[in-house]
Amino acid sequence: MGSIDPPKAEQNGTAAAAVADPGQKPGAGDAMPPPPPVKHSNGTAAEPDVATKRRRMSVLPLEVGTRVMCRWRDGKYHPVKVIERRKLNPGDPNDYEYYVHYTEFNRRLDEWVKLEQLDLNSVETVVDEKVEDKVTGLKMTRHQKRKIDETHVEGHEELDAASLREHEEFTKVKNIATIELGRYEIETWYFSPFPPEYNDCSKLYFCEFCLNFMKRKEQLQRHMKKCDLKHPPGDEIYRSGTLSMFEVDGKKNKVYGQNLCYLAKLFLDHKTLYYDVDLFLFYVLCECDDRGCHMVGYFSKEKHSEESYNLACILTLPPYQRKGYGKFLIAFSYELSKKEGKVGTPERPLSDLGLLSYKGYWTRVLLDILKKHKANISIKELSDMTAIKADDILNTLQSLDLIQYRKGQHVICADPKVLDRHLKAAGRGGLEVDVSKLIWTPYREQG
């Protein structure tokens, strides 16, 4: 299950830092500021003496697992853990660059850094993780601890410890740093298992219409002269203004479906890469202009789901984030469920951003109905009206303290002032789906 509207992209399309507070960090394309002077704990500037320089050299090269302070693009030092290292100059035994994880933030910020970005005075020896957690846990404020907890195992709630370690080991280093898609260059967030022949590429070039990817700009330019697609290779099932939705059958368009999965995995940490895309339908949202239909995001769903999943994976591409497209995609998935005459629910596990978006959607939809509905209404009736699964309705209302258990049954307590407060906290609903513009036949009814 993928993320929805990840943190805001810069105006030039470069993906911005994905943290809980996106306004806190500058854009990924910003130049690295000069390093501030290293300071002692008392705040005074420290001039490195000979002994200090010797100590710094004695810790090199840094071992994998080392904890150290690293200068980020905001010019400030943040705690990191060395995940991997690679040799730069074979003639210099200490000339490495290091792949680091910023321990305060999500893995999507992991990156390769140069030695000069690291404060070698702050190097900590590798210690037992459990002992370290106990020690550092005492030093952290509750806000810091919660921030780490929220980002540490995002989207992996259903994985056991061994599976989580295996996943993180296999995907610990981003293999593709940036991609070019249409008029945007986008920084990637996570590892994606591209074929082995792309192992030496830090940047890939995607055709924005067929999603074929290439190693060099010249290859893309030659391809674009031959590619006759101007929209995803499927049926247009929705058009409202400049927005369009295409349904792509994974069986009929296997290469496109696989390429879309490769692309999406660069921005989704825990997504399973489906090589067998025959079983899925992909709903690709586009912004349309005179040059064609440009992919904004997508969601996928199984053609036949025994668990009533109406959505398997969802993503808004970084340049189009914070514009309401993620909320639109969620709403669209439920409109399809209504057309099918079924209740639906997203496939688990949800990412942190995915869960927030769904909770917001469920809250807005349910509370809007409760505000307008004067008489008593049951969970079953709410489910029939919204196509939201009863369990999701119950959990949402319970989290808002709107459910009481009386005489052996759940009762909804809808005080208008409380509803208004929760609706305000849930935020705006985003772009609305104009159901009159949806022309679609459920898969089971298709010839």
List residues with catalytic annotation: 347
Nearest to 354 by CA among 264, 421, 285, 287: 264
Q: How far apart are CA 78 and CA 68, in angstroms?
A: 8
Cα end-to-end span (Å), the chain: 29
Q: How far apart are CA 431 and CA 447, in angstroms?
A: 32
- Give yes or no for a contact between 176 and 192, defined as CB atoms under 8 angstroms apart: yes
Burial (CB count <10 Å: 0-12, 13-18, 19+), residue 23: exposed
Residue with tokens 């005489």: 407
CA dihedral 243, 7, 143, 125 (to 10 degrees): 150
What b/e readout covers 198-235, taking b as 16+ CB neighbours within 10 angstroms? beebeebbbbbbbbbbbeeeeebeebeeeeeeebbbbe
Return all residues near 254 (Cβ < 8 A) that are at least 6 apart: 277, 278
Residue type, 104: E
What the block records as the tokens of 364 is: 């807005």
- Give yes or no for a contact between 179 and 185, defined as CB atoms under 8 angstroms apart: yes
Burial (CB count <10 Å: 0-12, 13-18, 19+), residue 97: middle
- Distances in whole angstroms, Cα of residue 173 to Cα of each of 48, 178, 190, 259, 266: 33, 13, 8, 20, 11
Q: How far apart are CA 297 and CA 431, in angstroms?
A: 14
Nearest to 211 by CA among 248, 168, 173, 174: 248
Helix axes 352-372, 379-386, angle to 10 degrees: 110
What the block records as the tokens of 320 is: 């189009």
Rg of the chain, C-alpha, whole Å: 24
Beta pairing partners, 85:
98
